Amino acid sequence: MIISDLLDSLNEWAPPSFQEDYDNSGMICGDPTQPVKKVLIALDCIESVVDEAIREKANVIIAHHPIVFKGLRSFTGKNYVERTVIKAIRNHIAIIAVHTNLDNVRTGVNHRIAEKLKLKDIRILDPKMGILQKLVVFVPRTHTQQLMNSLFEAGAGGIGNYDECSFRTAGTGTFRGNENANPYLGKKGERSSAEEDRVEVIFEKHRLSKVLSAMNDAHPYEEIAYDLLALESTHDQVGSGMIGDLDQPMETMEFLGRVKKTFSTGCVRYTRPHIPKVKKVAICGGSGSFLLEKAIRQKADILITADFKYHQFFDAEDRIVIADIGHYESEQFTIDLIADRIREKFPNFAVLKTQVNTNPIQYL
């Protein structure tokens, strides 16, 4: 197996188009045609992690955080970012990042956190807009089922917990081919009509090329009449954070103690526990202060995340408890998440989890 196969599998799980505008997920450096030997998983790809990959003879590092966020203007080794990339390139080690695209998928970072907290009835806290497109295509009724099967196989027709979703209406299409035409029905130069179906399916926009290819392969017409529509509706399987419920309400301080133990954090910064018991829990791995109002509107009792600034804690206003557990601590289970996924998809090569604690923050 080559590195591009591994990258394709990660992209199918967490499409790059789901990442935030500021992000740099994907292949940071390396040769995608190189065979995969061993894979090392880390939260951060820093020099010590590259050294570990060299010792373990791993030629691929998959990290949650990209080592490069901005374009590098030089490679002189003047900072840890340049030194890390230089060392990886010199040792023929590919670096791949799956960051906010993995945060934003239903089965990603926040889902693993929800599992650790034993939440139920979990859903995306802030679903994204602009992820979906609709294909409207007109097809002769004799080929409707063939076309729909092909579109479904390409990933179209998914809505929430359902797949193979479509809508079709019957009608009559008319056409006339010129002297250069090769019509599937009718004759050149004559107006013809056909019993047709209007088929509508929704799909995630990163699947566009695959969906159009499936349409072209299954459709009998020389010229296909179709429309593509950008949808502004939210996608409830893609977005930031998650929210769910505990099996039974817990006293707030008891629950905060459980959170501290679960995440092995040296410090939990929290607002006044004005709510006596916690039932509904909002979570976001990494920096999640931007989700505070969303969590309040959805009546969460507590928001567990990281990187709250001093003045942002005031915004709770006794409407919710904020629990800041630390950035590294909130995302630490992402290493297991990625490793489990790769082992499931590719059981034939070694997947290692870093032994390097890359957390730059220490606690007394």
SS (H, E, C) 316-337: HCCCCEEEECCHHHHHCCHHHH
Mean pLDDT of 312-323: 97
For residue 288, CA distances in Å to 21, 51, 86, 103, 363 come to 16, 31, 32, 11, 21
Sort 85 into a burial class: Cβ within 10 Å, 0-12 / 13-18 / 19+.
buried
Structure confidence by residue, pLDDT tens digits, 116-159 = 999 999 999 999 999 999 999 999 999 999 999 999 999 999 98
The candidate with the shortest Cα–Cα distance to 94, out of 35, 38, 27, 43, is: 27
Calculate mean pLDDT across residues 177-200: 92
pLDDT of residue 348: 83
Sheet-wide strand order for 167-175 = 167-175, 192-204, 132-140, 226-230
Give the model's confidence band at 160: pLDDT under 50 very low, under 70 low, under 90 confident, else very high: confident
Provide the pLDDT for residue 168.
97
The pLDDT, as a whole number, for residue 265 is 95
Predicted local distance difference test score (pLDDT) of residue 296: 98
Bridge partners (DSSP) of residue 227 are: 136
Residue 287 is predicted with a pLDDT of 97
Name which residue leads in pLDDT, 314 or 348. 314
Q: Mean pLDDT throughout 265-269?
A: 95
Q: What predicted TM-score, i.e. pTM, was given to this entire model?
A: 0.91
- Give residue 71's pLDDT: 82
Predicted local confidence at residue 79, as pLDDT: 94
In the block, residue with structure tokens 């590098």: 72
**The residue type at 97:** A
d(CA 169, CA 171): 7
User: Are β-strands 234-251 and 277-287 bridged in parallel, bridged antiparallel, or unpaired?
Assistant: antiparallel
Q: Which amino acid is at 78?
A: K
Do the bridges between strand 269-270 and strand 321-324 make them parallel or antiparallel, or are there none, so unpaired?
antiparallel
- What's the pLDDT tens digit per position in 292-310? 999 999 999 999 999 999 9
- Average pLDDT estimate for 239-244: 98
- The pLDDT of residue 260 is 97
- pLDDT band at residue 72 using 50, 70 and 90 as cut-offs: confident
pLDDT band at 364 (very low <50, low <70, confident <90, very high): confident
Q: What is the average per-residue pLDDT within 55-76? A: 93
Q: What percent of the chain has pLDDT over 70?
A: 100
Q: How confident is the model at residue 74, as a pLDDT?
A: 87
For the residues 335-350, what does the mean pLDDT come to? 94
Task: Give the residue among 36, 56, 52 at the shortest CA–CA distance from 44.
Answer: 52
Q: Which residues pair with 323 in a beta bridge?
A: 270, 304
